[in-house]
Structure 1
Amino acid sequence: MPVLHRLIVHPDLQRQGIGQKLLDWGIEKADQESLVAFLFARPAGSRLYERNGWKTIAVLDVEIPDPDIKMAPGLAMLRLPRSKQS
């Protein structure tokens, strides 16, 4: 099963379409093989995935035992291959 472990663009290079190009490649491969795509996203990155067909299927709250550390919930997201999308 093909896996894209992480998609990270350096902050100095964000908002230049680099993440979209990387995602386009992965989407093309997943669609060619009719694979369901699943990922965990941070809220800051979720808009990119939503624009590309991913849907949030669960919100994951993380409890950190240190009250000084704050962490946004994670999002579990799913995208059906193009041939299965309605």
Structure 2
Amino acid sequence: MKSILANDAVQAFGKDGVAHAYYLQYLAVDPAQQKRGIGRMLVSWGVREADKRAKKCYLFATEAGRRLYESAGFEVVREVPVFGFPHYSMIRQPIETSS
């Protein structure tokens, strides 16, 4: 899995991979705690930090998380099969902030 992610980052950003982007890596919420806004809070924090620095934000999503990330402004760059299941390489462009 690590090599799949590294290869995808190089495809998305070039030879430096995610060195110049915010990489939201392995976000997950305990199933017993889901549907309480915790995932949205984690994603919101990450994109705010990226926006403060005018950086693109990158993540690799499962089907279960895709809608959450799209609602936060991420776009699917490509679909990548992992162990027979679709995963999504997603990037969010920075939004200019006043702070």
The TM-score normalised by the length of structure 2 is 0.70
- The structural deviation recorded for 1:3 is 3.9
Percent identity, aligned pairs only, is 37
Work out the CA distance in 2 between the residues paired with 1:3 and 1:50. Answer: 16
| Gap regions ≥5 residues in structure 2 | 1-18
Q: Does 1:79 align with 2:89?
A: no
> Contact 2:23–2:58 at 8 Å: present in 1 too?
no
Cα deviation per residue 1:15-44 (whole Å; 9 max; x = unaligned)? 000011111111110000001011100011
Structure 1 moving runs of 4+ over 6 Å: none
Q: What is the Cα-based RMSD across aligned positions, in Å?
A: 1.4
**Count of residue pairs brought into register by the alignment:** 76
Between structures 1 and 2, the one with greater helix share:
2
| Gap regions ≥5 residues in structure 1 | 65-70
Larger Rg: 1
SS at match of 1:82: coil
Q: Which has the higher contact order (CA 8 A, sep 6+)?
A: 1
Work out the CA distance in 2 between the residues paired with 1:4 and 1:75. Answer: 13
> Contact 2:54–2:94 at 8 Å: present in 1 too?
yes
Q: Does 1:29 align with 2:49?
A: yes
Amino acid at match of 2:95: R
1:15 to 35, 44, 49: 35
Between structures 1 and 2, the one with greater strand share:
2
Q: Which residue of 1 aligns with 2:7?
A: none
